Every structure is written in structure tokens, then in C-alpha cells.
């Protein structure tokens, strides 16, 4: 099948590389010529373990190509997949400008009927609207069928999440589209779950928002644990024996970030409000997370009257390990507050420092190891649980820092070990 992918962000590029790996002929379209040239040279514009290998292999064996020329690519495609971003607008709603831009290009380019698959996370009802829009604007006797096929990959494990997905959600009621989607996924050997387009769109929001809710719930319980003298790790361990609850997404910390949970909670809440329904659980999830992201600073404020002139070490910047993505990362908000108050900040992250330099070219000192960031620091904040950061021995904090005071937003260390090493240690939900 000739598959064309519109947009080469996380979802598009990973989907393209995985479909090529499963024997389809894939062309990835992007409007950025530089990006296209880089990808042709085997360079991924994003850091994602295993992605460059797949890109290089499938480009070499001519299964995967990249192009800026959408017209040529779309005209005789079997399937066009829309994988562009749907960023958050100021009011919290999803911005569909990029989706409509691609829909317009498809209508202008196709010369035969084909399937358009929307992988981008879009508000309920968007697939219906896009199908109408394309068919209204397309020239000649052509029928475009739009299928909802949301993406559930996580950054850092995106390739595995795609090749080995627990399920593939397919929203369509058309027999022809079902047949084409079965063909698309025939070599994947994954459970295909068919449903209506609106249900499929909702599965994506409901899943992401449920996971975000689970995190905010456990973060609130963690905060309460601190007050009542319980330990969140013992509590979640105890809860997880009940397989109705499970053990995943119950890790308390300094809040969730990334490109999906913050945006998708706000978008679903907005969408519900527009329809006159107040989604109270999601409203609470959003506001709990907002507070949780600055919980370490709040704790530190109890000890330090001011951060002015204080030597601060920040370890971990990305919103989670194994990605260079800083979108909605708790580190950013905390850096803003610390800079505002006049702190002197040294940062370290294995992958995300280049991205942070674009935001703060001069305001921060970028260090090439966590140890360098710790030297002579008076306080340390940990925002991401990279292995390299987990591997720092408690004794190193004591040895390198001026004052060994550590605020850990990811509960990396054993409290007793930190005590034994005479480190003043604050974490989440543990006393």
C-alpha cells in the first residue's frame, strides 16, 4: 500500500518508520525542507530510542521516503494519515488549524478516492467534519472516507508501543474503510478494535485523561501521606495487589507534563463545557497538577526565605526520562520562579539541555555532568528520574554540595540512606 504521512512529529515519524518496517511504502511529508534533508540523511529531528535505526534501514531499502511535495505524494495514495499537532489554544481548546491545512491540501491534490486516517488527537466530531470538508472541496468524482485511528504511543518507548500496541482503535462504520484498515495493519498481529468514529475519538481523550487523573489522585494521596505520617510508596505497594487498581501510573511525583496529558485534559474539559457539562474529575486533575508542579519550590520556601543569590543545582529537565522534550515539564516552571527570585542556577540533563538553551541561552549554567552541577550548590532540585541521575550515590551529594539539601520530585532515593549520609532530603509523600 502507498501510505503518505502528513506531519513528522513524534506520532508521524514513528508511525511512518513502523509502517515501512511492516512492508508498506511510506512517504512522510513535512513543510520544513531542512527537516526533510536531515531525515534523508538518517537524522531524526526528535530523540526517540530506536527511531534513527528504523529510519536509516527503511530509507536504504526504499520503503520509507521524505518529501516536501505533498501534491505529488497525496495524488495517488491509498491511505493518507494526518499526524499533525493539535496544540492547546489559550482557552484550553484544541487548535485544529494544522489538521484543516492538511485537509485542504488533500482536497486540492487527490486524483482518486482514498482513505484519510486521522491519528492526531481531535475533539469528538472532528472526523465527521473533516470528511465533509474534504468531499466538499475535492474535484471530480472522488470519495474520501475518513477513519479515526488514535495514537497511544509514549515518548521514549514509542517504537515498541507502536509495533507491540495492546490494541489498535479504528473508528469507522464503512465496510470499505474497515477492509483497508485491516490491510494496513495485517502484518502487525495486534487486536484491531472497530467502533464508531466518535467513540474512537473519545477513547483517546478518555484514556489519557484517566491516566492523568490517576496520577493527580495519587499525588493528592501522597500529599496527605506527608500530613498524616504515612509513606506513599508503602501505600501504592499495598494498593497494587488489587488487580482492579494495578500498579501502573501510581508513581507520586512533582506532576505530569509532556505533549499529551496537559493538553488533552484541558481540551476534553473545554469540550464538555461547550456542551454544558462540567467534567469535575478532570477539572480537579488539572488544578491538582498545576499545584503539584511547584510543590518542591513550595517545600523549599519553608526553609529558605528567599532564593536570591542561592546556588541551585537542577538535575533533570525533560518531562520524563528518555526524551529531550520539555513541553509542560515541571522543571520549566520552577526555573522561572527561581530566576525571578534571583537564584544562580546550574542545570544538567542527559538530552534536554540543547532545547532548554533555546529558551534560556544565557540565564543558566549548563553542565556536562550531574556532579558538575552539584559542586558548591546550596540546594538541589531533581525533576526527572533519568538513570544517570538515579545512579548518583547519596555520598556524592554530601561530598560535592556546599549544603547537602536535596528536594527530589521523583522519589529516587531511599530516605534512610539519605539520612545515613547526612543529607537533608525532601521527597513526595514520604517523611
**Which entry of 114, 254, 260, 380 is annotated as an active-site residue?**
260
Q: List the interface residues with ligand UDX, window 141-180 (CB under 6 A).
A: 151-155
For position 257 contacting ligand UDX by CB under 6 A, the verdict is yes
Query: If binding means CB under 6 A, how many residues of this protein chain bind ligand UDX?
Result: 19
For position 208 contacting ligand UDX by CB under 6 A, the verdict is yes
DSSP state of 47: -
| Phi, psi of 82, rounded to the nearest 5 degrees | -95, 115
**Pairing between β-strand 79-82 and β-strand 114-118 as defined by DSSP bridges:** parallel
What Å distances lie between residue 121 and 95, 227, 236, 355, 382, CA to CA?
10, 38, 31, 24, 31
Residue 260 designated active-site: yes
Q: List the interface residues with ligand UDX, window 224-253 (CB under 6 A).
A: 249-251, 253
Q: Least distance to ligand UDX from the beta carbon of 188, Å?
A: 17
**Pairing between β-strand 192-195 and β-strand 379-382 as defined by DSSP bridges:** unpaired
For position 200 contacting ligand UDX by CB under 6 A, the verdict is no
Q: Least distance to ligand UDX from the beta carbon of 293, Å?
A: 10
State how far the Cα of 325 lies from the Cα of 259, in Å rounded to an integer. 8
Over the window 294 to 323, marking each residue x when it contacts ligand UDX by CB under 6 A and - when it does not, the resulting string is -------------------------xx---
Cβ closest to ligand UDX, residue 105 vs residue 411: 411
Other beta carbons within 10 Å of 403: 15
Q: Least distance to ligand UDX from the beta carbon of 428, Å?
A: 9
State how far the Cα of 124 lies from the Cα of 209, in Å rounded to an integer. 14
Cβ closest to ligand UDX, residue 30 vs residue 151: 151
For position 382 contacting ligand UDX by CB under 6 A, the verdict is no
For position 119 contacting ligand UDX by CB under 6 A, the verdict is no
State how far the Cα of 237 lies from the Cα of 153, in Å rounded to an integer. 26
For position 260 contacting ligand UDX by CB under 6 A, the verdict is yes
Cβ closest to ligand UDX, residue 63 vs residue 263: 263
State how far the Cα of 331 lies from the Cα of 381, in Å rounded to an integer. 9
What Å distances lie between residue 341 and 149, 295, 307, 308, 344, CA to CA?
46, 16, 6, 5, 10
Cβ closest to ligand UDX, residue 116 vs residue 218: 218
Cβ closest to ligand UDX, residue 13 vs residue 138: 13
What Å distances lie between residue 338 and 145, 294, 323, 403, CA to CA?
51, 11, 24, 18
Cβ closest to ligand UDX, residue 66 vs residue 256: 256
Cβ closest to ligand UDX, residue 123 vs residue 144: 123
Cβ closest to ligand UDX, residue 4 vs residue 153: 153
Of 22-30, 166-174, 239-247, 255-263, the segment contacting ligand UDX by CB under 6 A is 255-263
Q: Which residues share a beta bridge with 408?
A: 382
Q: What is the DSSP string of 202-246?
A: HHHHHHHHHHHHHHHHHHHHHHHHHHHT--HHHHHHHHHTSTTT-
Other beta carbons within 10 Å of 167: 11
Cell numbers given for 39? 531525515
Of 19-27, 57-65, 186-194, 258-266, the segment contacting ligand UDX by CB under 6 A is 258-266
For position 397 contacting ligand UDX by CB under 6 A, the verdict is no
For position 326 contacting ligand UDX by CB under 6 A, the verdict is no
Q: Least distance to ligand UDX from the beta carbon of 82, Å?
A: 16
Return the biggest CA–CA distance within the chain.
77
For position 213 contacting ligand UDX by CB under 6 A, the verdict is no
Quote the Cα angle for 9-14-20, to 5°.
Answer: 130
Other beta carbons within 10 Å of 322: 19
For position 381 contacting ligand UDX by CB under 6 A, the verdict is no
In the complex, which residues of this chain contact ligand UDX (CB under 6 A)?
Answer: 151-155, 208, 211, 215, 249-251, 253, 256-258, 260-261, 319-320
Active site members: 260
Amino acid at each position: 500500500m502507498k501510505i503518505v504521512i502528513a506531519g513528522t512529529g513524534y506520532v508521524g515519524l514513528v508511525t511512518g518508520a513502523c509502517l515501512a518496517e511492516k512492508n508498506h511504502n511510506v512517504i512522510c511529508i513535512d513543510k520544513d525542507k531542512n527537516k526533510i534533508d536531515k531525515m534523508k540523511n538518517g537524522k531524526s529531528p526528535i530523540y526517540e530510542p530506536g527511531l534513527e535505526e528504523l529510519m536509516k534501514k527503511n530509507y536504504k531499502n526504499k520503503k520509507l521516503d521524505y518529501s516536501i511535495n505533498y501534491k505529488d505524494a497525496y495524488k495517488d495514495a491509498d491511505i493518507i494519515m494526518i499526524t499533525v499537532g493539535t496544540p492547546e489554544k489559550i482557552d484550553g481548546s484544541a487548535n485544529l488549524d494544522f489538521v484543516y491545512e492538511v485537509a485542504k491540501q488533500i482536497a486540492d491534490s487527490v486524483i482518486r478516492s482514498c482513505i484519510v486516517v486521522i491519528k492526531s488527537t481531535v475533539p469528538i466530531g472532528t472526523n465527521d467534519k473533516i470528511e465533509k470538508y474534504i468531499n466538499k472541496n475535492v474535484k471530480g468524482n472522488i470519495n474520501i472516507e475518513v477513519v479515526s485511528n488514535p495514537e497511544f504511543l509514549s515518548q521514549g518507548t514509542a517504537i515498541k508501543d507502536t509495533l507491540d500496541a495492546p490494541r489498535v482503535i479504528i473508528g469507522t462504520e464503512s465496510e470499505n474503510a474497515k477492509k483497508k484498515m485491516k490491510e494496513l495493519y495485517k502484518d502487525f498481529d495486534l487486536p484491531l478494535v472497530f467502533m464508531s468514529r466518535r467513540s474512537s475519538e473519545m477513547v483517546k481523550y478518555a484514556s489519557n485523561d484517566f491516566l492523568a487523573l490517576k496520577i493527580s489522585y495519587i499525588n493528592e494521596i501522597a500529599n496527605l501521606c506527608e500530613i498524616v505520617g504515612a509513606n506513599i510508596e508503602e501505600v501504592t505497594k499495598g494498593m497494587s495487589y488489587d488487580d482492579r487498581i494495578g500498579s501502573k501510573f501510581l508513581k507520586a511525583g512533582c506532576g505530569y507534563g509532556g505533549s499529551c496529558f496537559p493538553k488533552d485534559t484541558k481540551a476534553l474539559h473545554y469540550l464538555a463545557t461547550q456542551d454544558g457539562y462540567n467534567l469535575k474529575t478532570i477539572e480537579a486533575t488539572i488544578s491538582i497538577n498545576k499545584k503539584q508542579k511547584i510543590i518542591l519550590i513550595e517545600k523549599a520556601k519553608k526553609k529558605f526565605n528567599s532564593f536570591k543569590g542561592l546556588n541551585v543545582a537542577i538535575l533533570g529537565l525533560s518531562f520524563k526520562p528518555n526524551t529531550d522534550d520539555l513541553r509542560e515539564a515541571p522543571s520549566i516552571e520552577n526555573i522561572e520562579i527561581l530566576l525571578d527570585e534571583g537564584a544562580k542556577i546550574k542545570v544538567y540533563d542527559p538530552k534536554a539541555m540543547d532545547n532548554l538553551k533555546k529558551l534560556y541561552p544565557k540565564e543558566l549554567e549548563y553542565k556536562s555532568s550531574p556532579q558538575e552541577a552539584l559542586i558548591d550548590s546550596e540546594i538541589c532540585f531533581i525533576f526527572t528520574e533519568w538513570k544517570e541521575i538515579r545512579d548518583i550515590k547519596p555520598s556524592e551529594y554530601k561530598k560535592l554540595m556546599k549544603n547537602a539539601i536535596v528536594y527530589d520530585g521523583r522519589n529516587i532515593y531511599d530516605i534512610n540512606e539519605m539520612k545515613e549520609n547526612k543529607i537533608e532530603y525532601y521527597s513526595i509523600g514520604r517523611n
